[in-house]
Homo-oligomer: A and B are copies of this chain.
Amino acid sequence: MTKPLILVSNDDGITSRGIRVLVDVMKQLGEVVVVAPDSPQSGMGHAITIGNTLRLSEEEIFQDVLAYKSSGTPADCVKLAKHYVLKDKKPDLIVSGINHGSNTSISVLYSGTMSAAIEGAIEGYPSIGFSLCDYSSQADFSHVENYVYQIAKQVLEFGIPKGVALNVNFPPKRNEALKGIKICRQARAKWQEDFEERYDPNGRKYFWMAGNFVNFDKGEDNDEWAIANNFAAVVPCQFDMTAHHAIAQINDDWDWEGLKTSI
């Protein structure tokens, strides 16, 4: 039996600790190819490089693994992997991460890690983004390795519904062992930003964005609840942004007669 082909990317860059852990786990499940950014791309959302050039070069960084680094975003990396690196070979699984930091709730929109997974789902491949809710570059991933393995194995075995990518977040390492996995929904929360004003050596003003995560969600079926209660949170994500429930409402609310006469 041929081994499954597994494409690995991330947003913290090809030298991060998280991608090394992910590559090591995936090597136990299949043949691994890496295409990842050459520098940190956190917060890049679903950005792609359209007004600029892209670099891509092979990098001997992981043992027995074909790896490329790119100047592009995580979404660019998946596109380059598909059309340039893998060409006619189709990956059986695309995994992104393991991110150093949470991608729960609304952060899925800003997440470079998840943009690689969503890009994979758009292309029709089973795709998973993994994140650890610990921002340290030296984060301890030891409590999640077996979970990453098991979740990827489930996906290779049972697949994921079409057009869906999994957003998997793990609690930081605590004294207590992880309690298990919750398949859940994105929590209703947002970031409350704060801009810190500073002056550069030439006296010109600049800003640092900082912020606090504010959770409005009282439910127990969401990813924030799962993380707070020491479960791994698995949110199936899709890329139809349509607010289907709002179509009828807007059709009802708007004054179409007014629109017709004045347009």
Contact = CB atoms under 8 A, between A and B. Distances in A.
A88 to B, nearest CB: 15
Interface string A99-124: 00000001011100001001000110
Contacts of A208: 53-54
Contact of A186 (B122, B194, B242): B242
A82 to B, nearest CB: 8
Contact of A183 (B80, B115, B237, B247): B247
Contact of A207 (B56, B180, B259): B56
A142 interface: no
Contact of A161 (B56, B122, B180, B243): B243
Given A243-B237, A262-B146, A194 B249 contact: no
Contact of A108 (B75, B163, B241, B262): B241
A110 B241 CA distance: 12
Q: In the complex, which range does the number of interface residues on chain A fall in?
A: 35 or more
Given A122-B106, A236-B246, A250-B161, A44 B47 contact: yes
Contact of A158 (B46, B185, B253, B260): B253
A211 to B, nearest CB: 9
Interface of A: 40, 42-51, 53-57, 75-76, 79-80, 82-84, 106, 108-110, 115, 118, 122-123, 146-147, 150, 154, 157-161, 163-164, 167, 178, 180-181, 183-186, 188, 190, 193-195, 198, 204-209, 234-247, 249-251, 253-255, 258-260, 262-263
5 contacts: A54-B206, A106-B122, A150-B259, A154-B259, A161-B250
